[in-house]
A and B are shown apart, each in its own frame.
Chain A
């Protein structure tokens, strides 16, 4: 009896401590990211990812941080390295789960970063892939505000070159903002970004 209790206690203890360790680690990594320490934040998420193979979130944020860093990076060699790192982290998770809408939104974002880095070379090749990834994200979760907004935003970005009618796209942006309002992240660390940028885009729509 006592043995059983001990084992259970130990088990619960370790469970509890693992839980807090994950939360602590994630919390710390988000803190670093907020402070603008992208490298450190990415490194922290990377470490969590190697320890927590059951959560897609650490790798998701490794990919997200490196992708967003790539957008503001001027050196093309570095852009490529950042995006390769992002893609590797994302691939690890996509292999495990092909039904996660958020992963495809991030995939679209990586492709978008390639297009932004060199539109002449990558535009034709990646544009179709961006659209494809958003479409897949929407199929998996039609109410994912990031998928709805991202798809519209990408096309709006190209509208001045392509002359596409912006009205239906702006309608999609509005829809996405509504979805952001009702969206409930599954866990405190689940993706919930995007509303600010959507509001900004909405301003330009008017």
Chain B
């Protein structure tokens, strides 16, 4: 009896407990008070909840009582969580904050051109480097189709917005590369040392970049190695210019990629008529490797590359009757190790060290120049996400450079020049998101240069404002300083140099739609403290000063579209620049020889499904560049004819894993002239004779077969994953 009663009571109690219902109702709105439809409203840990209606209203019943957490979640907004009293939650309004991390938040884009999966607006896609006609796998050549760059055919390096090539610094995983280019000499173009395949993201800043980066007056090129290898594979490449071999191994938490490449231009030089006389063709043997290890909260990466290059040629020189022989040998080693991880609440750490070693043995006529450079960088960066609206980062850097050269010509006494430079820098930067439409980044960089005995403080600021779903404005300002180039600084025993300086002002407008990007950027750059000297060539006994100055201003336009026609992608870059400088031994303000006022690149790629082929054309055009004619009284008065090169490539997929690739540059065979070298002394009739600076060959042909062997269908291998 007693038992029965208890049973009944307990059942009744239970039932009562179940059916004691409370109604919870209210409305979900965004920050502007507009109703949010489709939000999920529920009591945490229960089944009780509802989805908001078109008017943002919700209502549901619950058997819960007391205090519970009410959760409101929706894709575009920050999840809202608050403790409520279930019995008394009626007709309340929940205001959701927009999620700043959502993809359509404003991103400050002034000065920056990005590629890669992390980039929200990709200007270049990862494959573009390889598939842009005329680039031949050279990262720098592909970047030269973007606005703000100059095509300087006899040099091959990146010239950005009126800056010398040395004003651009390259960083791998955030750490500087001291020697990013291959060896070169007199008017022979160089290329980037880095193979595009190991990098997953490229950010190319043409100005106004973050306080994290220093010692660059014009531009930074940020290359990020892949965090993760795609899969185990072996890549084999057979090319008319050499061989390449790559292998990737993947383990549970780590992976290793190795690439080797041997280049020999002998077959190419034998087929294509050359404008110079090669004693021994360009040859290089290089390799690079990336090792990655994934920890629970971070990733460690080790990147190393080595290459040895040599060539020997005779070049005509206006000052000599017979061609002058140049024999070049270069060995380069680069090591970069970095760790990136998270700890605590919202902290992120990036640290790393790089070491670069370059040894050049150059024989020019009878003069031998042996030079060595050892360069290292240590870096530590911490950042903390304080909230979705504020992120702070700070860090420190240390650059060490040791340079030494010996010059011997068997006539005069041997000369040795060297310098040791240590630069310490620290910076801090704050990222503030006022809303999804307005973001600000402010930073400050301090540096101390031991060799120059100077301190620099460089403020940086940038602002992004989104005016509509698809368009936004950005503005950037920054002060930049950089130690003078080795040609000067090696004489620092004789003269106390100062850092060269630049200020950037950039205004950017960007319009994006799926498959379309349009951007226009106007900039003004103010150069000061540039090195000047008073002699024909830079010598130890030249009289130097840091009184040079200059400016660059211009407009860059970029349009990329993949919607016009199916399987067709194209982009157009146009840059207008007006720049003058008084530096080096310029007698007055003048436009330097590497600047063409108008540059236009048109890149097209078309995939032909029936042929399993991708064909591409790239046309680069630049107006004439100035040169100095000593026969005329006015300095830098000459102007070359304009430059044009039309390149073509064709990639044919034999199967998924076998690709046949063909490319040819300058199909039309345009006789391009980069400038003129004038004789140092006038001839008998008082005229300075000249010689045109031309490419080593008018065309470049390339044929390659690339084969990827991957056994990721093999189950036995996969068990190791």
> Measuring CB to CB, which residues of chain B are less than 8 angstroms from any residue of chain A?
2-3, 6-7, 10-11, 14, 18, 38, 40, 42, 44-51, 71, 73, 75-76, 102-104, 117, 122, 125-127, 200, 230-231, 514, 562, 569, 609, 612, 653-656, 712-713, 715, 718-719, 721
Contacts and interface: CB of A to CB of B under 8 A. Distances in A.
Contact of A76 (B10, B127, B514, B718): B514
A80 interface: yes
14 contacts: A2-B6, A5-B7, A17-B18, A25-B47, A39-B51, A46-B73, A120-B125, A120-B569, A124-B126, A132-B718, A136-B718, A139-B715, A162-B653, A162-B656
Contacts of A128: 230-231, 712
A6 interface: yes
A32 to B, nearest CB: 9
Given A39-B38, A122-B117, A163-B656, 19 more contacts: A2-B3, A6-B6, A10-B10, A25-B47, A42-B40, A43-B51, A47-B49, A80-B103, A124-B127, A124-B230, A125-B230, A128-B230, A131-B231, A135-B721, A136-B721, A139-B719, A162-B653, A162-B656, A163-B653
Contact of A85 (B7, B75, B127): B75
B635 to A, nearest CB: 48
Contacts of B713: 131, 135
Contacts of B653: 161-163
A51 interface: yes
Contacts of B122: 121
Which among B14, B40, B719, B721 has the highest number of chain A CB atoms within 10 Å? Answer: B40
A138 B48 CA distance: 37
B107 to A, nearest CB: 13
Interface of A: 1-2, 5-6, 9-10, 13, 17, 21, 25, 39-40, 42-44, 46-48, 50-51, 75-77, 80-82, 85, 120-122, 124-125, 128-129, 131-132, 135-136, 138-139, 158, 160-164
B280 to A, nearest CB: 38
A120 to B, nearest CB: 6
A135 B609 CA distance: 28
A180 B535 CA distance: 85
A40 B51 contact: yes
Contacts of A48: 47
Give me the 7 closest cross-chain CB pairs, A-B, nearest first.
Answer: A43-B40, A162-B656, A128-B230, A39-B38, A128-B231, A47-B42, A81-B75
Contacts of B71: 50
A43 B40 CA distance: 5
Nearest to A127: B230
B42 A50 contact: yes
A21 B47 contact: yes
A164 B10 contact: no
B203 to A, nearest CB: 16
Contacts of B104: 77
Contacts of A17: 18
A139 B720 CA distance: 11
Contacts of A42: 40
A102 B378 CA distance: 46
Nearest to B38: A39
A51 B76 contact: no
A101 to B, nearest CB: 13
Contact of B655 (A75, A132, A162): A162
A82 B18 CA distance: 36
A132 B712 contact: yes
A162 B712 CA distance: 16
A47 B3 contact: no
Contacts of B38: 39, 43
Contacts of B719: 139
Nearest to B119: A121
A124 B514 CA distance: 19
B609 A51 contact: no
A167 to B, nearest CB: 14
B76 A81 contact: yes
A47 B715 contact: no
Nearest to B514: A76
Nearest to B513: A76
Contacts of A85: 75
B127 A47 contact: no
A129 B75 CA distance: 25
B712 A135 contact: yes
Which among A48, A51, A122, A139 has the highest number of chain B CB atoms within 10 Å? Answer: A51
Contacts of A2: 2-3, 6
B103 A13 contact: no
Contact of B609 (A44, A80, A129, A161): A161
Contacts of A135: 712-713, 715, 718, 721
A104 to B, nearest CB: 11
A132 B103 contact: no
A30 B3 CA distance: 42
Nearest to A118: B514
Which among B47, B230, B654, B718 has the highest number of chain A CB atoms within 10 Å? Answer: B47
A125 B718 CA distance: 18
Nearest to B718: A135
Contacts of A6: 6-7, 10
Contacts of A162: 653, 655-656
A9 B10 contact: yes
B48 to A, nearest CB: 7
A42 B73 CA distance: 11
A121 B14 CA distance: 58
A139 B48 CA distance: 39
Contacts of B127: 120, 124
B609 A160 contact: yes
A81 B51 CA distance: 18
A10 B51 contact: no
A127 B151 CA distance: 36
B47 A47 contact: yes
A51 B721 CA distance: 33
